């Protein structure tokens, strides 16, 4: 074997990380999640979310949710140069005490989480040393490739949230 060159180092990469708070009908979404996790198509305990989860597209056609997504898209389009994208997945989840979300990343232009209640189980982003503490209406939008997850919920509270992925638009014509 004859090597010409070998390079093994990290490259800095541009990313997006935005947090804020929405005025959101948390009761509507919590009740809808409770129904969705009981439906046949649910993804409970079968994904990186080691808790109860709706199907991956459960909120894709929900008017209240898509209005929130429009607000996010308007912000992202006004502030960042992103490839053309559309909503791929949107789901709800419940993490009970003792449950967690494994650390993972998404193959998306951008992803996001919206919290519906108070819970001291933060969402961690180890690569950028950021965390988000769940409170009603608190959200984060982030580059999908950023690793993120939650340690075990060691509180007495269930954590309710919504997540979504905006994937690069695929023209199928």
Residue 115: inside a domain, yes or no? yes
pLDDT category at 144 given cuts 50, 70, 90 is very high
Residue 130: inside a domain, yes or no? yes
Residue 138: inside a domain, yes or no? yes
The CATH number for 131's domain is: 2.60.120.620
Residue 129: inside a domain, yes or no? yes
Q: What is the mean pLDDT of the chain?
A: 95
Backbone angles phi, psi at 162, to 5 degrees: -120, 145
- 82-117: buried (b, 16+ CB within 10 Å) or exposed (e) per residue? eeebebbbbbbbbbeeebbbeeebbebbbbbbbbbb
Residue 126: inside a domain, yes or no? yes
pLDDT value of residue 7: 82
Question: How many domains are contained in the chain?
Answer: 1
In this predicted model, what pLDDT tens digit does every residue of 18-61 receive, in sequence order?
999 999 999 999 999 999 999 999 999 999 999 999 999 999 99
* Domain span at 103: 17-168
pLDDT value of residue 68: 98
The predicted model scores a pTM of 0.92
Residue 7: inside a domain, yes or no? no
Residue 137: inside a domain, yes or no? yes
Residue 48: inside a domain, yes or no? yes
């Amino acid at each position: 074997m004859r090597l010409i060159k070998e390079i093994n180092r990290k490259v800095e990469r541009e990313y997006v990380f935005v947090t804020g708070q929405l005025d959101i009908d948390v009761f509507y979404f919590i009740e809808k999640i409770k129904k969705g996790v009981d439906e046949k198509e649910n993804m409970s305990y079968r994904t990186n979310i080691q808790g109860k989860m709706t199907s991956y597209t459960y909120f894709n056609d929900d008017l209240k949710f898509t209005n929130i997504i429009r607000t996010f898209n308007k912000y992202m389009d006004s502030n960042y140069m992103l490839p053309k994208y559309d909503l791929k997945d949107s789901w709800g989840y419940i993490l009970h005490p003792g449950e967690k979300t494994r650390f993972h990343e998404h193959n998306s232009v951008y992803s996001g989480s919206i919290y519906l209640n108070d819970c001291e189980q933060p969402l961690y982003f180890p690569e950028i040393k950021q965390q988000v503490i769940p409170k009603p209406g608190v959200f984060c939008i982030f580059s999908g490739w950023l690793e993120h997850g939650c340690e075990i919920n060691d509180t007495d509270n269930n954590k309710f949230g919504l997540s979504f992925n905006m994937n690069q638009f695929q023209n199928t014509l």
